[in-house]
Structure 1
Amino acid sequence: MNKTIALAMASCLIGAPALAQTTLRVVTAFPQGTMQNIPLTAFVEHVNETCTDSVTLNFVGGPEAIPTFELGEAVRRGVVDVGFSSQSFYTSIVPDASAIRLSTNSAAEQRENGGWELLNRIHNERMNAYYLARTSDGIPFHLYLTEEADPLDLSGVSLRIAPVYRAFFEDLGATVVQIPPAEVYPALERGVVQGVGWTSLGLFDQGWDQHIRYRVDPGFYVSDSNILVNLDRWNGLDAAAQDCLSEAALWVEGQDHVLLDLQAEELQRQADAGVQVIALDGERRDEFLRRASDAGWAELERLQPEYVTELRELLAPESAE
């Protein structure tokens, strides 16, 4: 190659602009340092390692940046680009999303049978959000109590709730109090509530184990921690960024075995800390789970019936039969 041409080409390469890279701001609904954020941390690291030519994620913070129950609206309005939140924190915007907790099949199966596509469309319509990924699949909720009680009759018991189990706990006779996770400890300490609904993970993260004495088995529903992207921001990304984020979404959904392993350790840790199990068996167990499912679907039917039948067929086919 002619030396002059070679020098000219090198000069062009040096002066050429780098490939466009978009930075997206990320906020979690969960307090920092809690186990619920493990999938998000992995997702952010994975994207920033594999999508270097197209998109990078900038973690802004948790509820100290955007309060837990306000994050859904912040995503809708584009105040933040990416939110990591459970549907229980944004059901006021997307009531239909509560069907996620009633799922009896996996996130992978929902991608195969059209369930993910329907949920994405619903999030598009109601929240101006792209439903990128669902994590924490397979992690159930539990009822935790400070005092022993009959799980099938909670009359006189005040429970901290999020919208995810409001209808169910009310059906069991409990008085319900909705407060964000960061305010649960003082509520337990002062006796404002005598129990909480929470997943099998994270009891120790915020010190709740200092007051909780009982866990009701079986667990009910399934938890979800969803990665949501403001739809306008998503549509403004180039194809390379969208493709890389979509691939990362599939990757992080395939990492839920990490939480399942931690769940076994967490339940053993609860036992070691003296948390006793109130185990429901036989007909009482069946009644507990049936009432959970019936209350959840009835509430969704009342709040937003538009997609209930389709959601039930795709997310919980057994219950639709």
Structure 2
Amino acid sequence: MKRLLTGAAVAGLLLCGYTISASAATLKVLTSWNKNVWPTYVVLDNFIKNVKKLGGDKIKIRISGPEVVPGFQQLQPVKAGVFDILFTHGVYHMGSKGLAAIMDAMNSDPVGKRTSGVWDHLDKFYQKTHGLKLLAISPNSTKGYHIFLKKPLSSKGDWKGRKIRGTQTYHGVIRLFGGEPVVMSGSQVYSALEKGVVDGAAWPAAGMLSMKHFEVAKYKVRPTFGTSTLPFLMNLKSYKKLTKEKQNILLQAGYLTELEMPWIGDQVQAEEDAALAKKGVKITRLPADQVSKMRKAFSESIWALGEKCCGADAKKLRELSEKSGLSW
């Protein structure tokens, strides 16, 4: 907590020396999620509040969501300058050198990511590779991801033979316990569970409530694994057009968001857990001796994807992460 308070104090001090600019900047934000996915969208909501808190009316935000540009197609229009800022997950552009996806293999410590060189390395990568400036790389909680199921774990503590929806970052965990990964968009999960196309799904630890998955799946596997980590990426040309004052407002709003979200996200998680319990959702637990294997399978699959995607840059991030104790 001391580290977080210190970071917040620094953020405030860094803004003190700037003068008031004459006109407001209006920035177009493209987000991969709408408010109906609140446990994820809350990160963007907090960022916008921090921009307002630090900059008043100097920066105005205009938001467009996946109904305008689908999540997996959002990188290019931000690179092209059609939008100024992208709020997303690295896996959504993994096929286009989405190095940010491998941040999920690290814990949620925002200060450590900055002091270790991880943050700067990721920033330089996106500037050089995509023409995008990193504003923040924020966890949405300390809880990461989980698997939820239509039926509880087997007597052996696995889901052998079941079909589990999951993007490629989850495949290591799904296969570890005998499952068959099924790739589909998040919007298809409810129907697929309802119709028996899949037997469960990998998802951020919070989200069963807002997506109403509890209506078609009554078991959530615990403990959780990994860290859901979400980048804010800004078109570099748009960023450079801003005054130093406005650049600093965005950067410090990003830092404050990184510092605050572990605690805000955990509160969202606690509220969801309580609500789900009232709706009959039960916990099914992995055997204790399988927990470390699960977390290792997740992180190793993430690192492997990173190396396939981004080679030496992914290896460098892993080196920095492991040296500083950020890796799971």
**TM superposition outliers: structure 1 runs of 4+ over 3 Å:** 149-155, 170-173, 316-321
SS at match of 1:277: strand
Q: In structure 2, do the counterparts of structure 1 residues 162 and 19 end up closer, same or farther at CA, with 3 Å as the change threshold?
A: same
Higher-Rg member (1/2):
1
1:138 aligns with 2:142: yes
The verdict on how the C-alpha distance between 1:316 and 1:183 changes in structure 2, with shifts beyond 3 A counting, is: farther
Aligned-residue offset at 1:157: 1.7
**TM-aligned CA distance change 1:168 to 1:299, over 3 Å:** farther
- Residue in structure 2 matching 1:209, options 195, 214, 221: 214
Q: CA contact under 8 A between 1:213 and 1:276: conserved in structure 2? A: yes
Q: Which residue of 2 aligns with 1:6?
A: none
Listed as ranges, the matches of 1:1-321 within 5 Å are 19-35=22-38, 36-52=40-56, 54-60=58-64, 62-104=65-107, 106-135=109-138, 136-150=140-154, 153-256=158-261, 257-317=263-323, 318=325
Give the 3-state SS of the residue equivalent to 1:123 in structure 2.
helix
C-alpha separation between the residues in 1 aligned to 2:239 and 2:320?
A: 25
* In 2: Cα distance, 1:145 partner to 1:285 partner: 17
Out of 148-157 and 136-145, give the one that drifted further: 148-157
Deviation at 1:219, TM superposition (A): 0.7
Report the Cα distance in structure 1 between the residues aligned to 2:62 and 2:108, rounded to whole angstroms.
32
Cα offsets for 1:99-146 (capped at 9, x unmatched): 200003512211112110011112223332212112214231001111
1:227-246: per-residue Cα shift (whole Å, max 9, x none)?
A: 11112211222211101111
Structure 1: tracts of 5 or more residues without a match: 1-17
The answer to whether the Cα contact below 8 Å between 1:131 and 1:229 also exists between their aligned partners in 2 is yes
CA root-mean-square deviation: 2.4
Deviations 1:59-80 (A, max 9, x none): 23x2111112112232222221
Percent identity over the alignment?
24
Matched-pair contact (CA < 8 Å) for 1:99–1:315: no
Could you tell me how far apart the structure 2 residues matched to 1:20 and 1:217 are?
A: 50
Identify unmatched segments of 5+ residues in structure 2.
Answer: 1-20
Alpha-carbon distance in 1 for matches of 2:62, 2:327: 41
Contact 1:106 1:137 in 2 (8 A): no
Q: CA deviation at 1:165?
A: 1.4
In the TM superposition, residue 209 of structure 1 has moved relative to its aligned partner by: 0.8
SS of 1:89's partner is helix
Secondary structure, counterpart of 1:311 in structure 2: helix
Counterpart in 2 of 1:4?
A: none
Please, what TM-score do these two structures have when normalized by structure 2?
0.83
Deviation at 1:316, TM superposition (A): 3.9
Tell me if the contact between 1:124 and 1:231 (Cα under 8 Å) persists in the aligned partners: yes
